[in-house]
Every structure is written in C-alpha cells, then in structure tokens.
Amino acid sequence: MKMSSDNPGVHALLLAAIAFVAALFLVIGNLVTKSPISQRQYEDLVRSLQIVIPEHLHDNDPTQEFVYLKGWQGRPVKIYRARRKGRITAVAFERYISGYSKIHLVMALDVSGKVLGVRVLDHEETPGLGDRIEIEKSDWITKFDGRSLDNTSTQDWGVKKDGGVFDQFTGATITPRAVVKAVHEGLVFFRQNKVRILTSPATGNRDEYERRAGS
C-alpha cells in the first residue's frame, strides 16, 4: 500500500485516471475493429441470404437490390429484393429483436407472403439453452418455412406453452417466443406494406432514404 492516502480525493482522482485509460483502450479497440466487424457481419448476411432465397427464384443479386422503408418504431428497414426475369419473386429483411439479449435475424418471404426461410445471424442467448435458434445447433428455425398468415392463424403464431404451434426449448421459452413474435410481425409488416415493398424504386443507400423520408 505504497500510495495509500487518507484524502479520499486522491482515490477518486486515481480511479478516474484509471477509468480514463481503460476507456481510451476501448475507444481505440472499437475504432480498429469496427470496419472488419461490419465486414464480417455483412459476409454472414450475404451467406444467409443465399440460403434463405433459393437459387431458382432469382437471377439478380438480392444483396445489391434493396429499398429502405419505414418499419418498426419508425426506424428504417432495409429490404432486399430478389428478381427473376425482371419480376420480384422474393424479399428479405433483417430484424433486431430482444430475447434475453439482442437477436439479429434475417427472414425471406415470397411475394405471396409465405416464409422461405429464417436465420439467426447474431445473438447472445445462453449457450445450451437459448442458442438452439441457430441452424447449426437445431433445425428449430426451419419450422417457419412455408408458414404464412393464411395457413397459420394469429393464435397459432406462438410457442406451444402460449397455445401456439411452435416448440419452446427445455429450459428456455423467452428466446423462441421472441423469434416467433418477430417472424409474425415480419409477415404482418409485409402484408401491410406489400405495394410499397414491391414497387418502391431501389434506393442506393440509407442517406437517400432519410432524405426522402424527411421531405
């Protein structure tokens, strides 16, 4: 205890200085890793989009044709559009939802509003309990394939515990419940905004969306 002092101000200053150094390290770390991380996340997204939108449905590159529309809580949603011979055949969009942690998923629908596929891109749910939403650990996420608002009623869009048709996991209900809700909301969003989603001219970037939304 070489530097021990009776003056509490000294400790406060020392603590503040150490906190400052720690914050500095974190800022540098964030700056350095920011662009490689978003690059990795983009690669994950592209890989998932290739899986959820089947090859025979498109001859364009859906990751290059997208439109920003106003979505949940007024935030912009990026919607990817797959075309075949010029006609839109499928759309896909990402969602960030809350389970225990933030879950980032992507879902694809065909133009009739039927789910083509859902994939979880990123999450921090409890390993061994909530992580069965990942395709690598369980086929649970594929149970959405082919579901739509027409063939599955609103009451059925829930986990079995809540009277729905989707399995919950042993020891984890909150995670699958959140995913089921998100997929359902996605379908409702598509139905309500179908015309805008299918006919809005492709936007190049988010700035353009914000300019248009603002005007």
Partner 1 sequence: MSESETPGYGRIIADGLWTRNVVLAQLLALCPLMAVTGSATNGLGMGMATTFVLVASGFSVSLWRGLITPEIRIPVFVLIIASQVTLVEMAMNAWLHELYKGLGLFIPLIVTNCAILGRAEAFASRQKVLPSMVDGLFMGIGFTTVLVIIGAIREIFGSGTLFANASLLLGKHFSFLETVVFEDYKGFLLFVLPPGGFFVLGFLVAFKNIIDGALENRARAQEAAPAGHPSAKEAH
Q: Which residues in this chain contact partner 1 in the complex, by CB under 8 A?
A: 1-5, 8, 10-11, 14-15, 18-19, 22-23, 25-26, 29-30, 32-33, 36-37, 40, 123-129, 131, 136-137, 170-171
Closest approach of partner 1 to the CB of residue 177, in Å: 18
Nearest to partner 1 of 4, 73 (CB atom): 4
Closest approach of partner 1 to the CB of residue 136, in Å: 5
Find the angle CA(32)-CA(36)-CA(38) to the nearest 5 degrees: 115
Nearest to partner 1 of 19, 213 (CB atom): 19
Closest approach of partner 1 to the CB of residue 127, in Å: 5
Nearest to partner 1 of 38, 154 (CB atom): 38
| Strand partners of residue 119 | 106
Q: What whole-number distance in Å separates Cα of residue 198 and Cα of residue 102?
A: 29
Q: What amino acid is encoded at 169 in this protein?
A: F
Q: Is 188 helix (H, G, I), strand (E, B) or coil?
A: helix
Nearest to partner 1 of 121, 198 (CB atom): 121
Check if the beta carbon of residue 94 is closer than 8 Å to that of residue 106: yes
| Strand partners of residue 69 | 77
Closest approach of partner 1 to the CB of residue 12, in Å: 8
Q: Is 169 helix (H, G, I), strand (E, B) or coil?
A: strand
Nearest to partner 1 of 26, 213 (CB atom): 26
CB neighbours of 200 closer than 8 A, spacing ≥ 6?
67, 69
Closest approach of partner 1 to the CB of residue 189, in Å: 28
